Structure 1
Amino acid sequence: MGPVASHQYCGLPTELSNFQGYFECDDAVKVGRPSSIEDVQALVSAFPHVKASGVGHSWWRQQFCAGNTSDSINIVMTELKPTLDFMAAPADPKQWTSQPVPPSFPIQVDEDKQTVTVAAGVTQRALLDYLSEYRYWKQPAGWTLGAFAWFLDQTIGGAVATASHGSSMRYGTLSAQLRGLKMVLANGSLVEFTPEKNPHLFRAAGVGVGRLGVTTEITLKIKPQLPVTRSLLQPSFRDFATAIKTVQDAYTAAKKAGDTEAMKRALFQVDETQAFWAVPTASVQVTSYSHPEKDPSFVVLNISPAGEPLVQGMNGPGDDVVAQVEKAPVPPNPRMAAAGSTRFWSNMYVQALRPKVAPGTFESRRAFLSMSDSETATTAGFAPYDQYEVAIPLERAGTCLMEVGNEIYNPARPLYDGFRTPLLLRFTTKEDLYLSPASDGPLMWINMEDYISRSSGRPNDLFQRTVQLFRQRCGARLHWGKAGWPQHAKCFQGAQEYPNTWCSFGCAVQELDPAGKFASEWDGWRWQATRGGQPVPFSSCCTASGFSTQCKCAPRSDCSAA
Structure 2
Amino acid sequence: MGRTNWAGNLTYGAEALAAPRSVEEVQDLVRGTARLKALGSRHSFNGVADTSGTQVSLAAMDRVTGFDAATGRVTAGGGILHATLAEALQREGRALSNLASLPHISVVGAAATATHGSGSRIGGLAAQVAGLQIVDGTGRLREITRAGDSDLLDAIVVGIGALGIVTQVTLDTEPTYDIRQDVFEDLPFARLEAEFDAIMGAGHSVSVFTEWAGESARQVWVKSRTRGELAPRGPFHGARPARCDTNPVPGAPAVNATPQMGVPGPWHERLPHFRMGFAPSSGEEIQAEYFVAREDSAAMIAALRPLGHEMRDALVSSEIRTVAADEPWLSPAARGDRTCAHFTFRRDAAAVARLLPRIEDALAPLGAVPHWGKVTAMPPERIAALFPRLRDFREIVRDFDPEGKFANAFTRRLLEAAA
State whether TM-score is above 0.5: yes
Taking the TM superposition and a 5 Å limit, the aligned residue runs for 1:233-252 are 233-234=184-185, 235-244=187-196, 247=197
Q: Distance in 2 between matches of 1:439 and 1:422?
A: 27
Deviations 1:136-177 (A, max 9, x none): xxxxxx221100100121211111111111123444111001
1:364 aligns with one of 267, 284, 289: 267
1:498 aligns with 2:393: no
1:275 aligns with 2:164: no
Provide the secondary structure at the position in 2 that maps to 1:373. Answer: coil
1:49 aligns with 2:35: yes
1:65 aligns with 2:50: yes
Distance verdict in 2 for CA 1:375–1:402, change over 3 Å: same
In the alignment, which residue of structure 1 is the partner of 2:236?
Answer: none
User: How far 1:40 moved relative to its partner?
Assistant: 0.3
In the alignment, which residue of structure 1 is the partner of 2:340?
Answer: 445
Q: Which amino acid aligns with 2:221?
A: T
Taking the TM superposition and a 5 Å limit, the aligned residue runs for 1:125-524 are 125-134=83-92, 142-234=93-185, 235-244=187-196, 247=197, 268=201, 272-280=205-213, 282-291=216-225, 347-349=250-252, 356-376=259-279, 384-405=284-305, 407-409=306-308, 414-451=309-346, 453=348, 458-460=350-352, 463-469=355-361, 471-484=363-376, 488-499=377-388, 501-522=389-410, 523-524=412-413
Report how many aligned residue pairs link the two structures. Answer: 396
Q: Is the 8 A contact 1:280 1:346 kept in 2?
A: no
Q: Distance in 2 between matches of 1:56 and 1:290?
A: 30
Q: Is the 8 A contact 1:418 1:452 kept in 2?
A: no
Q: Is the 8 A contact 1:392 1:475 kept in 2?
A: yes
Scaled by the length of structure 1, what TM-score is found? Answer: 0.64
In the alignment, which residue of structure 1 is the partner of 2:79?
Answer: 121
Q: Is the 8 A contact 1:125 1:153 kept in 2?
A: yes
Q: Is the 8 A contact 2:290 2:368 kept in 1?
A: yes
Q: Is the 8 A contact 1:385 1:452 kept in 2?
A: yes
More strand by share: 2
Distance verdict in 2 for CA 1:444–1:353, change over 3 Å: farther
User: How far 1:44 moved relative to its partner?
Assistant: 0.7
In structure 2, list runs of 5 or more residues that go unmatched.
228-247
Q: Is the 8 A contact 1:278 1:346 kept in 2?
A: no
Distance verdict in 2 for CA 1:354–1:515, change over 3 Å: closer
Q: Distance in 1 between matches of 2:126 and 2:118?
A: 13
Deviations 1:214-270 (A, max 9, x none): 0001100111112334444431233223322xx3xxxxxxxxxxxxxxxxx998557
Q: Which amino acid aligns with 2:333?
A: A
Q: Distance in 2 between matches of 1:182 and 1:164?
A: 20
Q: Distance in 2 between matches of 1:163 and 1:131?
A: 22
Q: Which amino acid aligns with 1:121?
A: G
% identity of equivalent residues: 21
Q: Distance in 1 between matches of 2:8 and 2:303?
A: 36
Q: Is the 8 A contact 2:211 2:312 kept in 1?
A: no
Q: Distance in 1 between matches of 2:406 and 2:303?
A: 39
User: How far 1:25 moved relative to its partner?
Assistant: 2.5
Distance verdict in 2 for CA 1:507–1:152, change over 3 Å: same
Q: Distance in 1 between matches of 2:344 and 2:149?
A: 38
Provide the secondary structure at the position in 1 that maps to 2:27. Answer: helix
Q: Distance in 2 between matches of 1:350 and 1:448?
A: 20
Q: Distance in 1 between matches of 2:340 and 2:204?
A: 13
Provide the secondary structure at the position in 1 that maps to 2:264. Answer: strand
Q: Is the 8 A contact 2:64 2:74 kept in 1?
A: no
Q: Is the 8 A contact 1:418 1:462 kept in 2?
A: no
Scaled by the length of structure 2, what TM-score is found? Answer: 0.85
Q: Is the 8 A contact 1:34 1:77 kept in 2?
A: yes
Distance verdict in 2 for CA 1:471–1:519, change over 3 Å: farther
Q: Distance in 1 between matches of 2:333 and 2:137?
A: 28
User: How far 1:471 moved relative to its partner?
Assistant: 4.0
Q: Distance in 2 between matches of 1:355 and 1:78?
A: 25
Taking the TM superposition and a 5 Å limit, the aligned residue runs for 1:548-559 are none
Q: Which amino acid aligns with 1:367?
A: R
User: How far 1:352 moved relative to its partner?
Assistant: 7.5
Q: Which amino acid aligns with 2:99?
A: F
User: How far 1:366 moved relative to its partner?
Assistant: 2.6
User: How far 1:357 moved relative to its partner?
Assistant: 4.3
Q: Distance in 1 between matches of 2:221 and 2:265?
A: 14
User: How far 1:271 moved relative to its partner?
Assistant: 5.4
Q: Distance in 1 between matches of 2:257 and 2:66?
A: 36
Q: Is the radius of gyration larger for structure 1 or structure 2? A: 1
User: How far 1:124 moved relative to its partner?
Assistant: 0.9
Q: Is the 8 A contact 1:415 1:466 kept in 2?
A: no
User: How far 1:450 moved relative to its partner?
Assistant: 1.3
